[in-house]
Amino acid sequence: MEDAIYQDTTMHQRLLEHLTTAVLLLDGKLRVRWMNPAAEALLAVSLSRVKGISLDTLLGDDSIDEVLAKARDAFHPYTQREARITPLINSEPLTVDYTVTPLSDDELLLEVEPRDRLMQISREEALTTRQETIKVLARGLAHEVKNPLGGIRGAAQLLERDLADPALREYTHIIVEEVDRLRDLVDSMLGPNYIVKHEPVNIHKVLERVRALLIAEHPNVSISRDYDPSLPDLSGDEAQMIQAVLNVARNAVQAMNDAQTPEPTLILRTRSRRQFTLGAERHRLVSEVAVIDNGPGVPDTLQETLFYPMVSGRSEGSGLGLSIAQSILHQHQGLIECDSRPGHTEFRLLIPMVLLSPEKRHD
């Protein structure tokens, strides 16, 4: 009989240990008694290190103790959605769903599901959908605007031929120039319209070119580098990548200058992300280029429309820089994300990396 109970307990523990859901067993005083490997991975800590410590200390959240105490006292399960925790070892905050189930007066089962990645995928899908919608609208707008512009330009040129007075010809010349300016503006709204060249690109060479340009334009801004030298070359168009990074970085520098940020600082950082999902596709390796500034941050009113064409937080801005940068990233099957708060704004350019054969890499 004892052997059967032992085998049954062992089987249940094996099942819990192989779950991808983080599971913790707590005692009546809400101290950690046991956790499965998924919980150890999520919280970046081993069971032996935290066994016996209180849950609020482990998760860095006092409010979770109140929730668990209520569930324990009422002997009723409770679920909390999108709670923010900061694990004891890993200082990075996490968004999680958790469910607590009382097993007895002295045992509670806590299940924790990370939500950050799922929320990020949802944001990326929504961003991609919005970008495609804007692209269709922009194309339709360009078609409707460029057709009459062509007629106006042609009529102005014909009228200019019949005018003998040079002063009147000056007016038709202005009409032609303004029509050309509007045409160029409409073309800019559509973003790059040439085919991407898939060649080996050293992303650090791209960032060094951008850094050199910004130092020449804005010597008052401190620009530091935080590169991952192990990043391999990616496949893409170097000129377009320079344009995309420059648009993002120049936008950050201009925002700092406009706000007269004391000691304006820009950080160019590179990292690799493994098994990363962009949109609906999972990539084995993704290059992350982060442009970080200590400026005023992106206004809340612009957070959702930041990458739309003609949307700008600056009175003299065209609102095309970030839109064009996002279009370039889309042509490389990537995208741009933004996290912003006053004093810290971070744009992340995420680009899938295709491992190149040795003969196709840079020397």
pLDDT in tens, 316-330: 555 677 888 888 888
Between 164 and 123, the higher pLDDT residue: 164
Q: Do 338 and 266 sit in the same domain of this protein?
A: yes
Q: Do 184 and 224 sit in the same domain of this protein?
A: no
Average pLDDT for 223-246: 91
Q: Do 210 and 286 sit in the same domain of this protein?
A: yes
Which positions ≥6 away from 131 have C-beta within 8 Å?
307, 326, 327, 330
Which positions ≥6 away from 350 have C-beta within 8 Å?
273, 276, 278, 286, 287, 288, 329, 334, 335, 336, 337
The CATH number given to whatever domain includes residue 207 is 3.30.565.10
Residue 85's pLDDT is what? 82
Per the structure, the count of domains in the chain is 3
Q: Does residue 360 fall inside a structural domain?
A: no
Q: Residue 103 CA to chain centroid, in angstroms?
A: 41
Residue 210's pLDDT is what? 94
Residue 65's pLDDT is what? 81
CA dist 21 and 24 (Å) reads 10
Q: Does residue 361 fall inside a structural domain?
A: no
Q: Does residue 150 fall inside a structural domain?
A: yes
Q: Does residue 124 fall inside a structural domain?
A: yes
> Please, which pLDDT band fits residue 357 given cuts at 50, 70 and 90?
very low
Question: Final residue of a domain: which of 85, 114, 143?
Answer: 114
Q: Among 158-167, 260-269, 310-319, which stretch is predicted with the lowest mean pLDDT? A: 310-319
pLDDT of 241-299, one tens digit each?
Answer: 998 999 999 999 999 998 899 999 999 999 998 877 776 677 888 999 999 999 999 88
> Please, which pLDDT band fits residue 361 given cuts at 50, 70 and 90?
very low
pTM of the model: 0.62
> Please, which pLDDT band fits residue 5 given cuts at 50, 70 and 90?
very low
Q: Do 205 and 342 sit in the same domain of this protein?
A: yes
Q: Do 102 and 163 sit in the same domain of this protein?
A: no
Q: Do 105 and 229 sit in the same domain of this protein?
A: no
Q: Do 208 and 332 sit in the same domain of this protein?
A: yes
Q: Do 246 and 153 sit in the same domain of this protein?
A: no
pLDDT of 20-55, one tens digit each?
Answer: 888 999 998 989 999 998 888 888 888 888 899 888
Question: Final residue of a domain: which of 190, 217, 235?
Answer: 190
Residue closest to 228 by CA, chosen among 265, 272, 276, 266: 272
Q: Do 310 and 344 sit in the same domain of this protein?
A: yes
Distances in Å between the alpha carbon of 1 and those of 4, 96, 183?
5, 41, 86
Q: Among 45-54, 61-70, 92-101, which stretch is predicted with the lowest mean pLDDT? A: 61-70
Question: Final residue of a domain: which of 55, 86, 114?
Answer: 114
Range of the domain at 138: 118-190
The CATH number given to whatever domain includes residue 24 is 3.30.450.20
Q: Which amino acid is at 46?
A: S
Q: Do 31 and 7 sit in the same domain of this protein?
A: yes
Q: Do 214 and 77 sit in the same domain of this protein?
A: no
Between 277 and 236, the higher pLDDT residue: 236
Q: Do 326 and 204 sit in the same domain of this protein?
A: yes
Q: Does residue 45 fall inside a structural domain?
A: yes
Between 150 and 208, the higher pLDDT residue: 208
Q: Does residue 362 fall inside a structural domain?
A: no
Residue 206's pLDDT is what? 95
